[in-house]
Amino acid sequence: MLPVPINDNLRRQIFWVATLLLILLNLWAFEFELSLGRSLNQLVFYYGVVPARYTTPHGLQTLTLERALIPIVVSMFLHGSWPHLLGNMLFLFVFGRSVENRFGHFGFLLIYLVSGLGGAFLHIFLNAGSRLPSIGASGAIAGVLGAYFVCFPRARIATVIFPFFFWSFHLPAPILLAYWFLVQFFSGFQMMAIQSATTGGVAWWAHVGGFLVGMALALLLPPRRATDWQ
């Protein structure tokens, strides 16, 4: 059984425009992926995060700053399936709105993008040599979860249990997010024991890295000014 968050109990003073724009951009990007047909694989291998490009002698010989950063950023807006996309967008909706309310539109986008970068770097470091592309917004959204974990310890999350969506209850945000983080952490260790450079799977360490970066940024960044809360 898997807990699925559907809402939180926090009141917000600004409209979550950056969260909405990110959701719409991810949806548009996935629609674009579907339009490519057989060319989709080429897009994924070109713009996905391939650790071997950053860690092997051959990859480093051809690596430029542009070629290093563009796939990391673009890959945050690509998804492998409808469940992958919709699950990520649900988490972004539930947790992103309150994080955006606390840090403002720019601060929220900074957390999102920098967490995505941090998650990608940890994934690359711990999967050195892998030639499989990694895509998805999970690392960036994990950063939003990490920021939420730091900022709203008293929040409660309306949650349903998959597949029993008719039964909902409220969980303390720290418990739900700590559980989510531990699942990613221990799943990452498990996959390291069985995954080779030619077998696929979830980029667990991108989730872990993104979450930790989001926590750090939430501690470092100032909240919105009082005048911005009106």
- What average pLDDT does the structure give for the chain? 88
Extract the runs of DSSP E, i.e. beta strands, from the chain. Answer: 2-8, 156-162, 164-172
What does the domain layout of the chain look like in residue ranges?
2-222
| Secondary-structure class of domain 2-222 per CATH | mainly alpha
Q: For the residues 6-32, what does the mean pLDDT come to? A: 96
- Give 171's contacts (C-beta < 8 A, 6+ positions apart): 3, 156, 157, 159
Q: Is the pLDDT of residue 7 over 90?
A: yes
Kindly tell me if the per-residue pLDDT of 230 is higher than 50: no
Tell me how far apart the alpha carbons of residues 22 and 28 are, in angstroms, rounded to a whole number: 10
pLDDT of res. 203: 81
Q: What is the pLDDT of residue 128?
A: 85
Higher pLDDT, 188 or 41: 41
HSE-CB of 96 using CA atoms within 13 angstroms: 28
Return the pLDDT at 187: 81
- Whether a cis peptide bond, with omega within 30° of 0, leads into 71 is no
Summarize the confidence of residues 102-130 as an average pLDDT. 94
Is residue 10 helix, strand or coil? coil
Does the pTM surpass 0.75? The reply is yes
Share of the chain above pLDDT 70, in %: 90
pLDDT band for position 1 (50/70/90)? low
pLDDT digits (tens, 9 = 90+) for 60-113: 888 888 888 899 999 999 998 999 999 999 999 999 999 999 999 999 999 999
What b/e readout covers 151-165, taking b as 16+ CB neighbours within 10 angstroms?
bbeebbbebbeeeee
Does the pLDDT at position 228 exceed 60? no
What does the pLDDT look like over 42-62, one tens digit per residue? 999 989 999 989 988 888 888
